Amino acid sequence: MHKIDKYIEVIASSDCYITPMNAIKRKITPPSLYFFPRLAKIVLYSNKWVKRGVYDRFHWVYSSLDIFHKLENTGLRFEICGMNNLTKANGPVVFIGNHMSTLETLVLPGIIQPVKPVVFIIKKELAKFPFFGPIAEARYPIEVGRKNPREDLKLVLEEGKNRLQNGKSIVVFPQKTRTAFFESKSFNSLGVKLAKLNQVPVIPFALLTDAWGNGKIIKEFGKIDPSKKVFIHFGEPVEVTKKGNDAHRHVLDFIKSSLLKWGRPELILD
């Protein structure tokens, strides 16, 4: 487990982590062919831990960072910045960001959980997904149906309150589905409403994770493309005041400005 311990130490103890060149080892095997068999092994041993009832926060971080390690071995380069912002807010927060690929759902736990205990809002269908479902459910997510927005809002506000009161931060992806493009009108204010109701700050985050593409048949099994760098940036905590419009706009502006900084203006549809 020493390699995973190294990731926790390096990522959680510094404001910015950039993949060192000596971490990139795979040169011959095609990236996707190298990665997905290893992902399958991680999913299998994680399911064994779930069945044994031991898939706690430590095992969650371990499996997440093992995926992170295997992605770096394909040649993917990561830039994870703004880690100091996670500790600027005492207690739980609501993380709000864009949702681009499968990568962030598997890697973010290993980045956030060592600093702040966290749960995710996920689609119910993901919890029923073979192999991945039991792992997702083992970490007490908030499950929404995405068919009745009013019921989903009530559920998230009720269960979100419970999680936050118990010291758990919550990751919210306000878009209806993951997509490479960012469009403000598809970005709901659910996360801001949740933060305002519980008087906790919002931490915006921006992702550029299209290095793991969406598959044509099964979305989760898309092409791994090491020519694209992975960016994960966290902003400073923001207090939600009045109706929350300023906080919502701040999140949108943070994501847009990050995509522009990373040289991908074509991904912004506004």
DSSP string, 199-235: T--EEEEEEE-TTBPPPSSSTTS--B-TTS-EEEEE-
Confidence check: pLDDT of 2 > 60? no
Query: CA-to-CA distance for 108 and 101, rounded, in angstroms?
Result: 12
What are 86-89's contacts with CB under 8 Å, separation 24+? 86/112, 86/115, 86/116, 86/203, 86/234, 87/115, 88/236, 88/237, 89/200, 89/201, 89/203, 89/237
What sign has the CA pseudo-torsion 240, 242, 243, 248?
negative
Token output for 212: 């793991």
Neighbours of 147 (CB within 10 A): 8
Measure CA 121 to chain center.
Answer: 10
Segment 38-96, tens digit of pLDDT:
999 999 999 999 999 999 999 999 999 999 999 999 999 999 999 999 999 999 999 99
Element (H or E) spanning 67, and its range?
Answer: helix 57-73
Which of 195-204, 206-215, 233-242, 252-261 has the least mean pLDDT?
Answer: 206-215
CA gap 118, 246 in Å, rounded: 24
- Which strand (E) or helix (H) includes residue 34? helix 31-51
Region of 69 (left: φ > 0; alpha: ψ -120 to 50; beta: rest) is alpha
What integer pLDDT is reported at residue 1 of this predicted model? 46
pLDDT in tens, 112-140: 999 999 999 988 877 777 778 899 999 99
Mean pLDDT of the chain: 90
Instruction: Answer yes or no: is pLDDT of 182 > 90.
Output: yes
pLDDT (mean) for 97-119: 95
Range of the domain at 201: 2-267
Quick one: tokens of 47? Answer: 């399911």
| The 3-state secondary structure of 178-198, one letter per residue | CCCCECHHHCCCHHHHHHHHH
Number of separate domains in the chain: 1
Task: Report the C-alpha dihedral over residues 67, 73, 75, 78, rounded to 10 degrees.
Answer: 50
Residue 203 tokens read as 């931490």
Higher-pLDDT residue of 22, 57: 57
Q: Is the pLDDT of residue 161 over 90?
A: yes
